[in-house]
Amino acid sequence: MAATAAAAVSFSLPSAPRGLGPRRRRASSLLRAASTAAPPSPDLSIQLSPRASPPAPANGAATAAGPPVAASFARDRAEDLQAEARAMARAAGATVYSPELLAARYGSRPFKVALRAAEVLSKLGAFGVKLLLDERSGDSSSAKRRARAVELRTILTRLGPTFVKIGQGLSTRPDLCPAEYLEELAELQDSLPTFPDEEAFVCIERELGFPLDSIYSTISPSPIAAASLGQVYKARLKYSGKLVAVKVQRPGIEDAIGLDFYLLRGLGFLINKYVDIVTSDVVALMDEFARRVFQELNYVQEGQNARRFKKLYADKQDVLVPDIFWDYTSAKVLTMEWIEGVKLNQQAAIESQGLKVLDLVNIGIQCSLRQLLEYGYFHADPHPGNILATPEGKLAFLDFGMMSETPEDARVAIIGHVVHLVNRDYEAMARDYYALDFLEPDVDVSPIVPALKNFFDDALNATVSELNFKTIVDGLGAVLYRYPFNVPAYYVLILRSLTVLEGLALYADPDFKVLAASYPYFAKRLLTDPNPYLRDALIELLFKDGRFRWNRLENLLVQGRQDREFAAKDALQPVLKLLLGPDGEELRVLVVKEAVRVTEAITIGTLIDSYNSAPEFLKPLISSGNLAGPFKFSEAEREQMMELRDQVFRVWGLLRSSNNFDPSLLQPIVQVLQEPEARVLGSRVAGGVTQRLAARLLQQLLRTPPAPGSS
């Protein structure tokens, strides 16, 4: 639904063909009258000729003679729920996916099934042969690739919606397809062949139950965009004047998709039975994908998905989700707010508006991470035709037909998995696969650990943030195939969503790394989420061999600050509660040791600074004649203490400079520190500091006096 150039056009409509029903003849005559009686408007709309309409009901309710009227867009929740209930009633007969129903429908029609199978195999097989011949002949010119890309796009288009969706996925993968293929397959996102406008307008009247001219004052004479399942018109609601996008479903699409999934499901059975290298249940994956696609055929369900998505994610000022107009929505017609914007892969058009593609991609990544790992409800089809950059710099999500959910246990397990990856803790990574439902609880993970180590030790020669997401997917894929993994359907959709985002980013920057852009989100979650699993993951990240990694905490705070909503103060109270809780003894031991080290470093460092700043004539008196200084430390030990002190000061500076920092906001933390457990902990720290400093003092007093004349 990208914005189109405004222009005045003229058009003509054919006479209504014989055999059409009264509604179809009325729509045809209506459009013909509009084309002659009213000039086209500048926004490519046709002015619908006025017809008798009933008075607008004050409450916007439906009447027998005309459509519901929206006297105001500020409906209260009750009215909106009533409108949604009416839309659900209109969609009561929507088709749902059922393997049994498909088997009953097509199992008794072997001839039709065989014809479709032959069509698919012949077209794709012939294309594969041509690619093989091109490779053997050495013809790899750009012109030849362009010709083959056009041919593939044509084949997928002719094979129908199921294969169009496959092409849409390929169009976002520059790492898999040459540029010529990407450009051609991108046309599958919203530039597919259209079906007759008259059929679309008749569908609107039939589904909504009202004449076209009583719903809209204007409507575009042809689709603004055409996708795999339907096509979109730009219209203006008659009673409100609101600009809307009207999506109308393709006729006969249920039968076409049903036949394809019947074939693909049969192929899945063959793969499960005869292809040993594939350990996942292909039939289950096919069923999940088919269920999602059939849900897309119910536009009321899509509207509900959009409403839920808006509630969860449009609270961010950079994310935009269109409103749904329930009184003008049914199973096959969806009316939503019109959004002006440019597709995310149109870099030149975006930059001409003063925007940066990578800034928008980063918004998309942060929003997608929230979807996948925070609430678990995510957009499973984020190709460029479904994500627009608005002139205001917002990211608009469209087309909510294909959605999925991540189980709660899997969400935190994924974040923990990233921590274990950073720590190169491959045993913990292998155990994560239980929580992710990749492995049954009785499967021994010990043989998997060496495989993970072999792959990631090579991949992590660079830092984790420099890894390409595809590299990780490919590497893990090689491991998955060798062991008894069963990849859940939700995880497949997650991989698809993230690889699409990475593909979009690679349009603008071939060196873009999704993991690097994801760090701020992971840092924020680890620092502020009170979930016990994530608290444990944070401890694993920050402690090694009983020593605290201040550099990692500093990096987490730096990354977390890139999230505008991050406030470091939010991390302090849950950490303290964990520290003082009944299961925090192991952590308390580590914290006491680290607190003693930090106190010593700050104290000694301050004394060293004071000595260095003292007048030169006083230094021999302070150091008792030792020109090297009053403290008996090796150079390495001195540097370690000074570096530790400086790191602590930098971390404190980051805490103080975080968003909305105010010392008064630390009052709840002070209250936590007043609990008995905290006082005991404080006593242990004070005792440890006293012992450490006393030992240092004794060491200085008992040091060997410098020999006369020595330096």
The DSSP call for residue 373 is: I
Neighbours of 308 (CB within 10 A): 15
Give the helix/strand (H/E) hosting 294. Answer: helix 282-296
Name which of 598, 584, 591 is nearest 689 in CA terms: 598
d(CA 434, CA 437): 5
Contact 382, 397 (CB under 8 A): yes
Q: DSSP characters for 57-73? A: PTT----SSS----S-S
HEC letters along 72-113: CCCCCHHHHHHHHHHHHHHCCCCCCCCHHHHHHHHCCCHHHH
Residue listed under structure tokens 């709309």: 45
Strand partners, 7: 43
Burial class (CB in 10 A: 0-12, 13-18, 19+), 398: buried
Residue 438 CB neighbours (<10 A): 24
Q: Name the packing angle between helices 282-296 and 489-508 (round to 10°).
A: 70
Separation of first and last alpha carbons in the chain = 80
Element (H, E) at 47: strand 46-47
Task: Name the active-site residue from 213, 260, 381, 432.
Answer: 381
SS3 content of the chain, % helix, strand, coil (to 5): 60, 5, 35
Whose tokens are 């450490």? That residue is 692
Paired strand residues for 248: 231, 333
- Please spell the DSSP secondary structure of 353-385, one letter per residue: TT--HHHHHHHHHHHHHHIIIII-EEES---GG
Q: Tell me which residue of 214, 204, 165, 192 sits closest to 331, measured CA to CA.
A: 204
Neighbours of 332 (CB within 10 A): 27
Smallest CA-to-CA distance from 364 within 347, 388, 340 is with 388
What one-letter code names the amino acid at 192?
Answer: L
Q: How far apart are CA 265 and CA 273, in angstroms?
A: 13
Give Cβ neighbours of residue 173 (< 8 Å, ≥ 6 apart). 182, 499, 500, 503
Contact status, residue 303 vs residue 324, Cβ threshold 8 Å: yes
Q: Supply the DSSP string of 490-547, one letter for each residue.
A: HHHHHHHHHHHHHHHHHHH-TT--HHHHHHHHHHHHHHH---HHHHHHHHHHHEETTE
Nearest to 73 by CA among 322, 301, 317, 391: 322
Give the pairing of strands 225-226 and 230-237.
antiparallel
- Closest CA relative to residue 421, chosen from 457, 395, 396: 457
Q: For the chain, what's the residue count? A: 711
Tokens linked to 49: 């000729």
Verify whether residue 609 is a known catalytic residue. no
> Which distant-in-sequence residues (6+ apart) come within 8 Å of 681 by Cβ?
579, 580, 588, 591, 592
- Residues labelled catalytic: 381
